Structure 1
């Protein structure tokens, strides 16, 4: 059975990074940068890029369990969960720039995010960079993007009250999750129809985030739409996965009833099943089809393609 389909943007959502650097990120930097979710795929990659490319980077890695923190010479380790105001405030104390990687999907994710934002403001963080999602709003077709819309509101409110600067990185679905979505039978299933989606490589998101964290002032108050350079249909994705891997992939355009039935064996709560299905209905709606030039603007190169991620 194929994977039900989730955002592919949150911390720890699969593997598939492509090697890269943040060339020319900044001159020597001594202000403290904190990276949350540093034990996950995105946060860990951002931390590694900063350690490699930014001379004198003062890094603090914020994780839920110290033993899972990546080993980076000279980096501090802080343990906190987003729902713990006291622990987050301590973890963010003395931080100039903070990467707030969105939490994994949960019924209380917005409350967790609001607590973390409150802690960042209380700790005196001067610039908060948040990994949001394309079309984040209270009425987004992709239901989990509503969490991101509420979090963006909380960030703006905190900034208005404290003067904290912010940058929002609205990532589209990751290219990296397409093979996991297809599962062992290499079949993408969902009611996406002929809708298009501007999938982005996690590596590109990590490199953009690292570049901004190294020199945030130029990006203050900006909302960056992080997409790939193209927006394929899931049928086109299946054909390209077949060509890139040599293994046949296919796409099955489910009805809503079929989508619920195929996900029923997972035993997930209704809100989560509806979120999984809305992954595909959001694609069908056209809400995720727009291609942005922001990755190229920040990195000075074109975004990675599906084939690049598959090769990695």
Structure 2
């Protein structure tokens, strides 16, 4: 019996690419979607869809024609992201898609402190409204983001206060998503899974772990909100993007990203990865922090 076709968006990215590779290893038919098909991975048993962006309804409908399940990785942050998601979901249903697995964000709510988390809530609301079979994967901060947001001077800056964050690895998200996608029954229909690491830690504790791993002093500077906006003003990013950066830390301070869930071990059958293990297994993630790297 041939398994139903799974369409994977964001297949050239960190989450979508990992999910595509995992599905391909199982022999499930997979169609990879992206704005630029030349950037999509070459994986056995997969096929690249024609170019499609979320905001192009007709292109998305063509790209999804014949697919049974859509793995929908959220679009890049933008002021129009909810509209883009809505168009993509509606195009999927028009193409005959019967199931949507959406990568959302921990604590998604219309009044979430983290502005981008609000986009996810409105996207979830639209998916629910359509009546399509669906599963929401609400992942937290990425573990990879901890060293990435630490500057080469060894300082992690942000208005996170003493709040805690239950950051999760890309691999844990991909393994969890694959488990959901490969289950063709109704077990996960209507479910919302918080995908988190095994523990919530402060950013000061994260800096301590980076110090142990790099052999140099890494420290966390708890900025005020005003200091955070000022320190990021020189990047030349639009106001909405800077607000997203700053409010992600504010959400930590508010305790909105401290949830620790058992969803990863429940879905994958193994423990979720913690920060120390992630850093041990991914030395490239902090290479810019090593002594003599500047």
Please give the TM-score of this superposition, normalised by the length of structure 1. 0.87
Query: Runs of 5+ in structure 1 lacking a partner?
Result: 1-27
Q: SS where residue 30 of structure 2 aligns? A: strand
Unaligned runs of 5+ in 2: 283-294
Does structure 1 residue 271 correspond to structure 2 residue 240?
Answer: yes
**Is residue 35 from structure 1 mapped to residue 35 from structure 2 by the alignment?**
no
Once the two structures are superposed, the pairs formed by residues 159-170 of structure 1 within 5 Å of their partners are: 159=131, 164-170=132-138
State the partner residue of 2:277. 308
1:74 is aligned, of 18, 37, 45, to: 45
Residue in 2 aligned with 1:253?
222
Question: Per chain length, whose mean CA-contact separation is higher, i.e. which structure has more relative contact order (CA < 8 Å, sep 6+)?
Answer: 1
Q: Relative to 1, partners in 2 of residues 1:221 and 1:245: Cα closer, same or farther, differing over 3 Å? A: same
Q: How far has the Cα of 1:106 moved from its partner?
A: 0.9
User: What does residue 15 of structure 1 align with?
Assistant: none
Kindly indicate whether the alpha-carbon contact (under 8 Å) linking 1:142 and 1:279 is maintained by their aligned counterparts in 2.
yes
Name the CA distance, whole Å, in 1 between partners of 2:216 and 2:23: 36
Correspondences of 1:1-312 after superposition (within 5 Å): 30-52=3-25, 54=26, 56-78=27-49, 79-159=51-131, 164-217=132-185, 218-311=187-280, 312=282
Q: Are the structure 2 counterparts of residues 268 and 30 from structure 1 closer, same or farther at C-alpha, using a change threshold of 3 Å?
A: same
Quote the offset at 1:229 in angstroms. 0.8
Q: Name the SS of the counterpart of 1:34 in structure 2.
A: strand
- The C-alpha deviation readout for 1:238-289, integer Å capped at 9, x for no partner, is 0011112323211000011110110011011111111110011000000111
Q: Call closer, same or farther: CA 1:266–1:37 in 2, change over 3 Å.
A: same
Q: Secondary structure of 2:12's partner?
A: coil
Residues 1:244 and 1:87: Cα distance change in structure 2 (over 3 Å): same
RMSD across aligned C-alpha pairs, in angstroms?
1.1
Aligned residues of 1:245 and 1:310 also touching (Cα < 8 A): no
Contact 2:24 2:45 in 1 (8 A): no
Q: Secondary structure at the match of 1:189?
A: strand
State the match for 2:289 in structure 1.
none
CA distance, structure 2, for counterparts of residue 255 and residue 71 of structure 1: 46
- C-alpha distance in 1 between matches for 2:217 and 2:269: 35
Is the Cα contact below 8 Å between 2:28 and 2:45 reproduced in 1? Answer: no
Shift of 1:216: 4.1
Q: Distance in 2 between matches of 1:244 and 1:203?
A: 20
Q: For residues 147 and 212 of structure 2, what CA distance do their matches in structure 1 show?
A: 13
Q: TM-score by structure 2 length?
A: 0.92
Number of equivalences = 279
Moved over 4 A (4+): none
